[in-house]
A and B are shown apart, each in its own frame.
Chain A
Amino acid sequence: MGMTNAATENILFSTGGATRLSTGSPVGLTLKKTHIWAAWTGWIFTAGFLIAVCPLFAWTIPPYMGPSASAMEVKQFYLDHLFQIRVGAFIGMAASAFYYPWGAAIAAMLRRVENGRPPILTYTQLGAVGVAVFNSVLYFFWMAYCAFRADTMDAEMLRSLNDFQYILLEFEVFPLSLWAITIGLAILLDKSEHPVFPRWVAWVNFWFAGLVMTGQFMIFFKKGPMAWNGLLAVYWPAFVFFFWICAMSSFMIKALKREYGVRQEASTEAYA
């Protein structure tokens, strides 16, 4: 079993060459390249998300209005920007598809840290990916829903639905924080000769986990920096969040190019 796997590794994981094992795959396609594409999904998600929410489309980052806007102002915003909001929701949903490969890739890269033991941190990360992507997807669902029949909807109801959109955008913080802490722990516990990520990247995760927390308080305020259009509820958490995604994406790409994420060092009897 071990010998076969060593041979397999030499063929499948060799630098750059086309695999000879999978005779049906296109020339030049390797597992390594595919994995690197998976790492790029972080950047694609970031770009797609930010384009979807920018003033050209949904206009939620930066927000066009605030919690203290009247129902008529909210309805007027929707009436004036109906098509672009719908396009924003469309783009956002496409972007959300690139969220889970990124999360899965991190978990996969760090799985080997738990070799020989139950992969609790890995599974926690995968669970967190589900929660996070659910949030992203539901956010764009809701955006689409608000814009679907906004012209005939009651203004108060539309304002209420619009509030929920921002709750979806900003209120899920703790689940993401725990996700980042799990990643950080896995990185710190990496005692191998060639760690997957540099040690200090764990602290970027801890930084994100702690500092994104200001957004969690948006539910208590309708004015000021912690209202859903405020500095601490939108801009700071968005900055921290996308910085985190792009940083992790970059380091994954680097690590995959070094190939240490898939070395034989990883036990082949590892849990699935």
Chain B
Amino acid sequence: MSVAAGSSIGKTGGESLETWNNEPKKGATWLRRGRVPGEPGLWILIFGDMALFLLLFGGFMIERAKEVDLFRRCSDTLHLNIGLVNTVILLTSSIAVALAVRAVRIKTKTWGPIFAWLALLCGLAFLFNKYLEWGDLIRGGIIPTTNNFYLWYFIMTGVHLAHVLIGTCVLVYILRLTRRAHLDQAVSIAGLECGASYWHMVDLLWVILFPLLYLMR
């Protein structure tokens, strides 16, 4: 499959950029339209990650069934407003990331970095909010070992937080790629899609986490 100059057909991340407009090196996996976004292998990581969260959600539901009253009461003490803001922030950042990837793909390169910055700022805002939220709880004497609900709350939001931290690094990577595209340098579309898919996963996990912890009665 030939690659026309300026074609935005993606390739798996990792190839040297100088082959972007030339014949592909043998062994490189060329991806076509209607293909798996990013790399096929990435989805092993993503679904494997979601498997862990399935365990967490399942474990939470089982523990909750044992002490429903306690869980309801403690859920009321959580910062619902911060949780809502965080949800909006993550959804916004997901849209931003999707638009950034699209901008690079359809060659409106100026918008790529702008959306990438927006996504990154949203990610950082989430981290800051988490600092506020946890800080408030801990200052109020609530720590993971306080009771069963808070144990699961801190563990679940903690594991998610770790994913957001990694995701922030991924957003920086996306930003670098969009800036490179903006400067008309060759960029791996698959790399962008990998990063974007990961961030979408982080967002999806929060969208499930939030109702479980904050809203369920």
Q: Which residues of A contact B (CB under 8 A)?
A: 188-195, 199-204, 206-207, 210-211, 213-214, 220-226, 231-232, 236
Contact = CB atoms under 8 A, between A and B. Distances in A.
Interface residues of B, number: 30
A195 B162 contact: no
Interface of B: 12-15, 25-29, 39-42, 44-45, 48-49, 52, 55-56, 59, 144-145, 148, 151-152, 155, 159, 162, 166
A200 B148 CA distance: 39
A211 B49 contact: yes
Contacts of A188: 13-14
Q: Is the interface of A mostly helix, strand, loop or mixed?
A: helix
A191 B45 contact: no
Nearest to B159: A214
Contact of A226 (B26, B39, B155): B155
A267 B186 CA distance: 31
B44 A207 contact: yes
A194 B27 contact: yes
B49 A224 contact: no
Contacts of B152: 224-225
4 interchain residue pairs of minimum CB distance? A200-B41, A203-B41, A207-B48, A224-B151
B39 A199 contact: yes
Given A188-B14, A231-B55, A224 B155 contact: yes
B151 A191 contact: no
A266 to B, nearest CB: 15
A206 B45 contact: yes
B27 A191 contact: yes
Nearest to A209: B45
Contacts of B166: 210
B155 A199 contact: no
Contact of A223 (B45, B59, B145): B145
Contacts of B52: 211, 214, 236
